[in-house]
């Protein structure tokens, strides 16, 4: 935990320090202005830590206010830095062009002051747009045909939710939007692929009952994400089970006589639990009936060597589709399968959800939230 805090303070402190540097250069801030802005930035750096401290001290009202302010600031800061760095590069290119072709060319580069205010405007407008985009849940619909689906089944509908992140910010509003989308889809099977909760679940009164009321003809299954462990695994499991889900933890469950659902914990559990070995789906997959259509529920879109070819469909989340552009480029570099449906060369398919809620800033930009409707149909 100490190493994480040092890393967090170094990265987030540097981001806020960059904004202070740009503001001083653009606004010619004096000592008093620098101190006022610096104090605000220090409060924003510490906001996530103070928020969790207030939450654990049962000062929920204060924690919620700090969460809204702190996380919205993070979203604004991220977009500001992206826009400001782009202008820095443009100004640097103009300077080099001026050296090569004369000062008249360099005059076309934007000034420090103009760059600052344009970046500020872009980040503000981007956050306003992203706030509303994060509330427009889309229903993504895919069809998978397999010889393992009996002809008499017709169509079997799975609805996937992922990365909901119920917590201090995301609560009843998100629940209502998500419930409407799920109910309209009429699922046979409802699955949650991790990060259903984020923070103290004791403050989520009533949400588990509304989740339990969601229709699913043959049942509901869930797996843990990393945030279930961060929030406290026992309370998170209690909430998820109260919501009507069967939590699969290195387990398999048969649904009827043709479908097997396998689920594994997120590796975060092994990191936080005395260094126990990371969960491994391969033994469970090896024990599953290969004549069944096998669905693997796994929070992170990572395929272990030797696991491919042992399942027909892996459902994952975690990446949020990048959540805020241009973070999608980082997501692409970090995960070979980062969004949407893909065929695995060794056999089987994987679908990676963009997620239904948001982590941190209640904002999405270029990665709208989703529930996923997967229709399994017979090839016969």
pLDDT in tens, 182-239: 999 999 999 999 999 987 776 677 889 899 999 999 999 999 999 999 888 999 999 9
Query: For 151-155, 201-205, 215-219, 369-373, which range has the lowest pLDDT when averaged over its residues?
Result: 201-205
**Owning domain of residue 241:** 139-378
**Residue 279 DSSP symbol:** P
- Report the pLDDT value the prediction gives residue 156, as an integer from 0 to 100: 96
Indicate whether 217 and 113 sit together in one domain. no
Question: What would the two tokens of residue 102 be?
Answer: 């004369």
Final residue before a domain boundary, out of 108, 133, 158: 133
Same domain, 71 and 151: no
The pLDDT assigned to 49 comes to 85
Domain co-membership, 127 together with 145: no
Q: Is the pLDDT of residue 25 over 90?
A: no
Looking at the structure, do residues 159 and 120 belong to the same domain, yes or no?
A: no
Q: What percent of the chain has pLDDT over 70?
A: 91
Is 148 in the same domain as 126? no
Give me the DSSP letters along 224-277: --HHHHHH-HHHHHHHHHHTTPEEPSSEEEEETTTEEEEE---THHHHHTTTPP
**What's the domain count of the chain?**
2
Neighbours of 114 (CB within 10 A): 13
**CATH code: domain of residue 185:** 3.60.21.10
Q: Looking at the structure, do residues 62 and 171 belong to the same domain, yes or no? A: no
> Same domain, yes or no, for 11 and 59?
yes
Per-residue pLDDT at 58:
82
Pair 125, 166 in one domain: no
310-345 pLDDT tens trace: 999 999 999 999 999 888 888 888 899 899 999 998
* Euclidean distance between CA atoms 246 and 297, whole angstroms: 12
Q: Among the three residues 133, 167, 193, which one is the final residue of a domain in this structure?
A: 133
Which pLDDT belongs to residue 217? 93
For the segment 249-261, the average pLDDT, to the nearest whole number, is 93
Largest CA distance in the chain: 77
Which of 114, 133, 152 terminates a domain? The answer is 133
Q: Which helix (H) or strand (E) holds 2?
A: helix 2-27
SS3 content of the chain, % helix, strand, coil (to 5): 50, 20, 35
pLDDT band, residue 7 (cuts 50/70/90): confident
216 shares its domain with 326: yes
For residues 56 and 75, state if they share a domain: yes
**What rounded mean pLDDT belongs to the chain?**
88
- Are residues 230 and 304 part of one domain? yes
Residue 118 and residue 144 in one domain: no
CA of 342: how far to CAs of 191, 278, 301, 350, in Å?
Answer: 19, 25, 11, 5
Question: Cα(19)–Cα(34) distance, rounded to whole angstroms?
Answer: 11
Global pTM reads 0.89
Residue range 79-128, pLDDT digits in tens = 999 988 887 777 666 666 555 655 655 565 667 788 888 899 999 999 99
Q: Can you give the pLDDT at residue 199?
A: 74
112: Cβ contacts below 8 Å, ≥ 6 apart: 22, 25, 26, 91
């Amino acid at each position: 935990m100490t190493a994480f805090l040092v890393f967090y303070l170094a990265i987030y402190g540097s981001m806020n320090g960059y904004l202070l540097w740009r503001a001083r250069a653009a606004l010619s801030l004096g000592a008093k202005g620098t101190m006022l802005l610096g104090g605000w930035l220090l409060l924003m750096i510490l906001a996530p830590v103070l928020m969790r401290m207030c939450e654990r001290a049962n000062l929920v009202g204060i924690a919620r206010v700090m969460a809204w302010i702190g996380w919205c600031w993070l979203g604004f800061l991220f977009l500001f830095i992206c826009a400001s760095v782009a202008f820095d590069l443009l100004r640097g290119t103009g300077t080099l062009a001026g050296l090569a072709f004369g000062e008249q060319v360099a005059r076309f580069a934007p000034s420090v002051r103009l760059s600052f205010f344009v970046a500020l405007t872009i980040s503000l407008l981007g956050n306003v747009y992203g706030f509303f985009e994060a509330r427009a849940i889309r229903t993504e619909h895919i069809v998978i045909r397999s010889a393992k689906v009996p002809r008499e089944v017709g169509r079997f509908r799975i609805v996937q939710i992922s990365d909901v992140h119920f917590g201090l910010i995301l609560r009843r509003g998100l629940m209502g939007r998500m419930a409407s989308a799920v109910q309209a889809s009429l699922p046979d099977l409802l699955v949650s692929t991790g990060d259903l909760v984020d923070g103290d679940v004791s403050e989520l009164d009533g949400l588990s009952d509304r989740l339990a009321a969601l229709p699913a003809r043959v049942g509901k299954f869930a797996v843990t994400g990393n945030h279930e462990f961060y929030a406290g695994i026992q309370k998170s499991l209690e909430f998820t089970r109260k919501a009507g889900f069967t939590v699969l933890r290195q387990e398999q469950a048969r649904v009827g006589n043709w479908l097997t659902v396998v689920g594994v914990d997120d590796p975060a559990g092994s990191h936080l639990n005395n260094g126990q070995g990371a969960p491994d789906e391969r033994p469970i997959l090896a024990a599953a009936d290969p004549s069944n259509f096998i669905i693997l529920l796994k929070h992170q879109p990572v395929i272990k060597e030797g696991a491919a070819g042992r399942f027909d469909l892996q459902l994952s989340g975690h990446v949020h589709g990048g959540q805020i552009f241009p973070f999608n480029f980082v997501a692409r570099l970090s995960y070979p399968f980062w969004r949407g449906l893909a065929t695995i060369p060794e056999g089987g398919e994987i679908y990676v959800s963009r997620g239904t809620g948001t982590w941190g800033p209640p904002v999405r930009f270029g990665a709208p939230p989703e529930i996923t409707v997967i229709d399994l149909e017979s090839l016969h």
